[in-house]
Amino acid sequence: MTAPTLPTTGREWHLLSRPVGWPKPEDFALVETEVPAPGEGQVLVRNKYLSVDPYMRGRMSAAKSYVAPFELGKVMQGGAVGEVVASDAEGIAVGDHVLHFFGWREYAVVDAKNAVKVDPEAAPLSAYLGVLGMTGLTAYAGLLRTAAFKEGDSVFVSGAAGAVGSQVGQLAKLKGASRVIGSAGSDEKVKLLVEEYGFDAAFNYKTGPVSEQLRAAAPDGVDVYFDNVGGDHLEAAIGRLNRDGRIAVCGMISVYNNTEPAPGPRNLARLIQTRGRIEGFLVGDHYDLQPQFVQEVGPWVRSGELKYRETVVEGIENNLEAFLGVLRGDNTGKMIVKL
């Protein structure tokens, strides 16, 4: 099945040791390996765009979690979009573009059942890793199902200039939020939230206490808090929560590299007064929403009503640095590696 022009080797990132605290370059290695031909029911994909995401830090640890840890000495995984260069599977032809979960590498042999065809004419390929992919569905499910958003709600989003946060805020606005507030880590990102994404207010959490800045930005309180950060943001949101307020916990990037357990919010008792609710969620539990999500959000993306940004890093050799950049907050919108 393999044509003479097909690659025989490709590069991929392996996890060598489990990071303690902040990941270090020596915990990883870029390795050249053989590229096998696809077997029956498989396709060989030349990856074009790779995704790096905060949750990957958890998979580098051996701790029991909702998904298996990366194996030491083996290639890591992540979202990817690429072009099929060889196929031994019905329904997927050479030249088709597919979304799959075998990133951190240049070439991937993928079972056809684990590959989803995407249309490069309908949206840029990289969008299927972000605004129209798992990132977008995370925002959609967390806001609408977990947080039970309803028209007229006041919404606070932390990490609001990131890939998920920026989409949460815009979805809330498009669906009739009374007020949308975001936090971000730089004045440039704050400006972006207000001027491009249409947030009603935003603040730089590095320039003052989050609780004080949120109180000023949300004088009438918060009905929904979408949490990407945890820590002082979660405590501040509980402090501003209105009666029957809901908190959807998507991520807690502020504690991912901690070596000791982080203290929890000191004001949890306020949930009694507000009848508030905190609920964690994983996008994998909400894939039943995918058709509805694409049907509703796709037109907003195409019309420009829902805007998105990408931070693009070029080259497989820079995949690790792009991932570390996500943990530092270097990205605006979705961090993408272009091969």
Structure tokens at 22: 């902040």
State yes or no: pLDDT of 3 exceeds 60: no
Whole-angstrom distance, CA of residue 140 vs CA of residue 122: 20
SS3 279: strand
Give DSSP secondary structure letters for 131-176. TTSHHHHHHHHIIIIIS---TT-EEEESSTTBHHHHHHHHHHHHTT
Structure tokens at 108: 């991937």
SS3 316: helix
Q: What are phi and psi of 229, to 5 degrees?
A: -120, -40
Contact 84, 43 (CB under 8 A): yes
Residue 181 Rama label (left phi>0; alpha psi -120 to 50; beta) = beta
Predicted local confidence at residue 2, as pLDDT:
43
User: In this predicted model, what pLDDT tens digit does every residue of 272-283 receive, in sequence order?
Assistant: 999 999 999 999
Read off the DSSP letter of residue 298.
H
How does the average pLDDT of the chain come out, rounded?
93
Whole-angstrom distance, CA of residue 159 vs CA of residue 67: 23
Structure tokens at 230: 């945890």
Residue range 142-163: mean pLDDT, rounded: 97
Beta strands in 207-319 (DSSP E): 222-227, 241-249, 277-280, 310-314
Number of helices (H), then strands (E), belonging to the chain: the values are 9, 15
Predicted local confidence at residue 232, as pLDDT:
94
Predicted local confidence at residue 1, as pLDDT:
43
Predicted local confidence at residue 67, as pLDDT:
80
Structure tokens at 178: 């009374």
Banded model confidence at residue 81, pLDDT cuts 50, 70, 90: very high
At residue 48's C-alpha, the angle toward residues 42 and 50, to 5°, is 95
Residue range 195-221: mean pLDDT, rounded: 97
Question: Whole-model pTM?
Answer: 0.82
Structure tokens at 55: 């949750």
SS3 94: coil
Greater confidence, 119 or 270? 270
Give the torsion through C-alpha atoms of 195, 201, 207, 211, to 10 deg.
Answer: -160
In the block, residue with structure tokens 């498989």 = 42
Q: How many C-beta atoms lie closer than 10 Å to residue 90's C-beta?
A: 8
